[in-house]
Copies of this chain bind each other. A is one copy, B any other.
Amino acid sequence: MIKIGLLGLGTVGSGVYKIMENNYENIKNKVGTALEIKKILVNDIDKQRELQVDRSLITSNYREILEDPEINLVVELIGGEEPAHKYIIEALKNKKSVVTANKLVIAKHGNEILSLAREKEVQISYEGSVAGGIPIIRPLKESLAANRIDEIYGILNGTTNYILTRMAGEKLEFNKVLQEAIKQGYAESDPTSDISGLDAAYKISILASLAFETFIDVNRVYVEGIENISLRDIELAEELGYVIKLLAIGKKENDGLDIRVHPSFIPRKHPLALIDDVYNAVYIHGDAVGDVMSTGRGAGQMPTGSAVVADIIQVARDIHNKRLTPNLLESFQNYKLKNIEEVENCFYLRIQVKDKPGVMSRVTKILGDNRVSLASVLQKHRLTPVVPLILITHPVKEKYINQSLEELRQLDDVITINNIIRVEESS
């Protein structure tokens, strides 16, 4: 019998409890011994819960879990940075193995946590922290262990993917879809972390750290959200043969790692372009395996619960068999993180110019002088003195785009720069 302490009984915590209850015998067979949830930490003992849990299991005192010598596996599902981080550290210090789905803590404190687990000879598993139920952390560490991975592309945030899908499908503006998504529970009441791209940044930091065998400081990852994507951009993307997705990107290049999160034009036929609604996907390129992609539900009680319970089964088996699965990533490598200014991309520029002679020549001269060459130009004539100009560039370093934009803003012909979106060309 292995006794487990559960920290948190929210959405995922309840899912984990249910899965463990419904699959009790099955899990017992897989582990080789029964698993018992001995204590559950909650904020408010008296809160009404959908899930019926024996009152004696519940405590609001974390010491009853972290200091109980009978508990040797702690499952952290509180979320957020503190006190989750403190509890994980405390559990490891007390030689308890830890399973968590906390992307924020792993992305920010992964180095400290992994080292401590190694020192204390206990396990730390976090499959649930990225892409919900899609098996990705373990496959990266184990199934693709023979590969040098050089590219990861992910759609790692379900809320933003849902919003972009609905904007495109129903021709709605961002704010309208966001408000409805909040009402329907597809977005949190404070959706900032999702919308701003930060949630995806935590996740790509975790995946890229594993794939490139290093530790990526999430604070140094370039992040841009979807707040500025308008229906007009989505329609123009369609017209040009693309869709817009919030992409999380990790690439290993000769001059450093390129890790970033931002909206991207993706060619309509690219496999990631077809990932809609709340689905997540991870696309990986390795030298031996070539391209592999996995997709599934990236969040939610049961998908994330599935990943957490899989981790619990693995860790409990190792505890039961008194053995330590060594962390595969013992040799951390150091890489330079590329500055976004040095990253090369194609760009979509949507600007509004005055309808007068020579405008196009003046605009393209500025671009050309700054090494920006154009792949396509779309000029939409309307019955106004204002002309929308849509440009797609060839690959160019971001700093040259930024210089161009600065000069364009000063040009009297340019009324507004509506949007700049990076364009992924399929490799």
| Chain A interface residues toward B at CB < 8 A | 15, 19, 23, 26-27, 29-30, 32, 127, 132-135, 138-139, 142-148, 271, 274, 286-297, 300, 302-303, 305-310, 312-314, 317, 321, 323, 326, 328, 330-331
Query: How near does chain B come to A34, taking the closest CB pair, in angstroms?
Result: 14
Query: How near does chain B come to A287, taking the closest CB pair, in angstroms?
Result: 8
Closest to A143 in B: B135
Which 5 pairs between the two chains have the least Cβ-Cβ distance? A135-B143, A146-B309, A133-B289, A292-B296, A288-B306
Which residues of B are found within 8 Å of A271, using beta-carbon distances?
A: 274, 295
* Inter-subunit contact B331/A29 (CB<8 Å): yes
Query: How near does chain B come to A131, taking the closest CB pair, in angstroms?
Result: 10
Query: How near does chain B come to A268, taking the closest CB pair, in angstroms?
Result: 12
Which of A23, A127, A148, A310 counts the most chain B CB atoms within 10 A? Answer: A310
Give CA–CA (A293, B292) in the complex, Å: 11
**Can you sample 22 A-B contacts with CB below 8 Å?**
A23-B148, A127-B143, A133-B288, A133-B289, A134-B289, A135-B142, A135-B143, A139-B139, A142-B313, A143-B307, A145-B310, A146-B305, A146-B306, A146-B307, A146-B308, A146-B309, A146-B313, A271-B274, A288-B303, A289-B306, A290-B300, A290-B303
* Inter-subunit contact A305/B288 (CB<8 Å): yes
* Inter-subunit contact A293/B290 (CB<8 Å): no
Give CA–CA (A326, B274) in the complex, Å: 39
Which residues of B are found within 8 Å of A135, using beta-carbon distances?
A: 135, 139, 142-144, 292
Give CA–CA (A307, B147) in the complex, Å: 9
* Inter-subunit contact B142/A138 (CB<8 Å): yes
* Inter-subunit contact A323/B321 (CB<8 Å): yes
Closest to A274 in B: B274
Query: How near does chain B come to A426, taking the closest CB pair, in angstroms?
Result: 14
Give CA–CA (A231, B50) in the complex, Å: 55
- 5 extra interchain contacts, Cβ-Cβ under 8 A, other than A138-B139, A144-B306? A19-B146, A146-B308, A290-B296, A290-B302, A294-B295
Query: How near does chain B come to A312, taking the closest CB pair, in angstroms?
Result: 8
Given A290-B302, A292-B294: A144 in contact with B274 (beta carbons within 8 A): no
Which residues of B are found within 8 Å of A328, using beta-carbon distances?
A: 30
Which residues of B are found within 8 Å of A132, using beta-carbon distances?
A: 289
Query: How near does chain B come to A202, taking the closest CB pair, in angstroms?
Result: 20
Given A29-B330, A330-B29: A139 in contact with B133 (beta carbons within 8 A): no
Give CA–CA (A322, B58) in the complex, Å: 40
* Inter-subunit contact A295/B297 (CB<8 Å): no
Closest to A303 in B: B289
Which residues of B are found within 8 Å of A134, using beta-carbon distances?
A: 289, 292
Query: How near does chain B come to A149, taking the closest CB pair, in angstroms?
Result: 11
Give CA–CA (A307, B139) in the complex, Å: 11
Given A29-B331, A145-B30, A295-B271: A288 in contact with B314 (beta carbons within 8 A): no
